[in-house]
């Protein structure tokens, strides 16, 4: 009995396994599976190392062999010098090509990782979410960056479609950690909280925890920061996030909570463009605590054929070569006159005009989001579908 138990613990098939070919085969597969996964890349690593080191070594050996062993390299004639120069030029070219190949390979790996980060943070929106046509685009200010300081998400819940759009102070890669903290909290809170105000309070607490962790990482010495928040003199204390929360219910009623973010535009079927909501928004999340009462703003109903255009402040702050700001209301008024108009075509029209106005790339992160009521509110989130007219 002890021998059988010891053999089983070492992964050796027992006598019962030997008597059944099928059981024995399964046991061998179980043994080989983890071992195969551990050793799958063992044979590849030496080959990669040999390729990375072998080519430069071969080129260097060729150059030294020619210089030391070839009689032509010892001569001082014009023809010998030309041949020697050609040999060393070929060696240098080979080394440069090898370095270029290695850098391109590393760049492909970095872009692949950046794409995975972007898909995890800013997940691509389906064409329709619970009867709302959707289209979104983001353009980070940093060249080569896949994500920036803007955030957005659209999720169907039992209370309706809930939307968040925000803008972290600053732009580029430095704001990615804050974007991840806010979006991660939003994706959980919208399903747990019945009231939009409690979703906003959850976001505020998540941001505060993130800032405390950043302050602790920057000043890890004991007592270097207050227990209730970051040091007022620390750059982390100046961080803030503007947030716009929307709840679009099944009957089209729109509720909003705005913390320092630009109000969206409502686009009607008759070509009208007007701001949704209005009034003074709350302060951005971060520097100031939220008030005790957070009544959501009733923005009326989003009727069939109407759409909401959400954006970050990088859109209206974009300047042209003469320093003029981007006239978003005028561009929207011009775009809604085009027929047929869908969420994607509206987004494309505005984004194209914005790039042309800013000379190819704005100086700040830019995010655009279109939500259109196409009159069909019975479905749940679906995959990419054919865009339908929404205005």
Same domain for 15 and 145? no
pLDDT tens digits, one per residue of 23-36: 554 555 454 444 44
Q: Name residue, tokens 């996030």.
A: 241
pLDDT at residue 24, as a whole number: 53
| Phi then psi dihedrals of residue 268, to 5 deg | -100, 170
d(CA 288, CA 75): 80
pLDDT tens digits, one per residue of 272-283: 899 987 778 899
Give Cα 10 distance to the centre of its chain.
45
Mean pLDDT value across the chain:
77
Same domain for 297 and 157? yes
pLDDT higher than threshold 50 for residue 19: no
pLDDT tens digits, one per residue of 132-173: 999 999 887 766 555 678 899 999 999 999 999 999 986 556
- Does the residue 220 lie in any domain? no
- Domains in the chain: how many in total? 3
Same domain for 106 and 22? no
Give Cα separations from 173 to 51, 81, 169, 211, 240 (angstroms). 34, 52, 12, 16, 16
Domain containing 277 equals 125-173+242-373
> Per the structure block, which two tokens stand in for 31?
């043994």
Domain end marker among 94, 115, 136: 115
248 or 117: which leads in pLDDT: 248
Mean pLDDT of 363-374: 89
> Per the structure block, which two tokens stand in for 81?
């010098």
Same domain for 107 and 135? no
Same domain for 76 and 159? no
What is the gyration radius of the CA atoms in the chain, in angstroms? 30
pLDDT higher than threshold 80 for residue 251: yes
> Per the structure block, which two tokens stand in for 216?
């602790």
pLDDT at residue 93, as a whole number: 77
Query: For the domain that residue 329 is a member of, what is the CATH number?
Result: 3.60.40.10
Same domain for 23 and 137? no
Same domain for 54 and 33? no
Q: Name residue, tokens 């071969």.
A: 58
What is the value of pTM for the model shown?
A: 0.69
pLDDT higher than threshold 70 for residue 4: no
306, 391 Cβ separation under 8 angstroms? yes
235 or 89: which leads in pLDDT: 89
pLDDT at residue 312, as a whole number: 93
Strand partners, 248: 161, 254
């Amino acid at each position: 009995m002890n021998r059988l138990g010891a053999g089983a613990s070492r992964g050796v098939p027992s006598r019962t396994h030997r008597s059944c070919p099928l059981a024995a085969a399964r046991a061998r597969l179980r043994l080989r599976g983890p071992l195969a996964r551990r050793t799958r890349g063992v044979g590849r690593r030496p080959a990669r190392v040999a390729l990375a080191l072998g080519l430069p070594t071969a080129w260097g050996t060729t150059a030294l062999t020619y210089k030391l062993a070839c009689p032509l390299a010892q001569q001082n004639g014009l023809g010998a010098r030309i041949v020697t120069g050609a040999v060393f030029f070929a060696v240098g070219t080979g080394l440069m090509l090898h370095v270029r190949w290695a850098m391109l390979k590393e760049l492909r790996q970095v872009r692949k990782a950046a794409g995975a980060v972007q898909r995890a943070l800013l997940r691509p929106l389906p064409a329709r979410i619970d009867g709302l046509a959707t289209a979104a685009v983001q353009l980070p200010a940093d060249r080569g960056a896949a994500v920036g300081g803007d955030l957005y998400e659209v999720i169907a819940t039992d209370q309706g479609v809930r939307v968040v759009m925000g803008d972290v102070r600053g732009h580029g890669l430095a704001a990615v950690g804050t974007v991840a903290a806010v979006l991660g909290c939003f994706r959980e809170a919208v399903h747990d909280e019945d009231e939009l105000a409690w979703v906003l309070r959850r976001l505020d607490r998540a941001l505060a925890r993130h800032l405390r962790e950043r302050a602790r990482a920057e000043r890890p010495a004991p007592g270097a920061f207050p227990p209730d928040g970051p040091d007022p003199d620390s750059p982390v204390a100046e961080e803030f996030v503007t947030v716009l929360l929307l709840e679009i219910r099944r009957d089209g009623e729109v509720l909003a909570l705005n913390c320092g973010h630009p109000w969206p535009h409502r686009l009607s079927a008759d070509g009208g463009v007007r701001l949704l909501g209005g009034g003074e928004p709350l302060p951005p999340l971060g520097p100031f605590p939220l008030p005790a009462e957070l009544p959501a703003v009733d923005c009326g109903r989003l009727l069939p054929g109407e759409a909401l255009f959400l954006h970050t402040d990088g859109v209206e702050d974009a300047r042209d070569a003469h320093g003029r700001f981007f006239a978003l209301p005028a561009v929207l008024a011009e775009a809604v006159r085009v027929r047929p108009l869908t969420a994607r075509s509206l987004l494309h029209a505005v984004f194209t005009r914005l790039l042309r106005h800013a000379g190819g790339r704005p100086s700040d992160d830019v995010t655009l989001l279109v939500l259109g009521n196409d009159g069909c509110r019975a479905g749940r989130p679906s995959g990419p579908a054919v865009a339908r007219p929404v205005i």
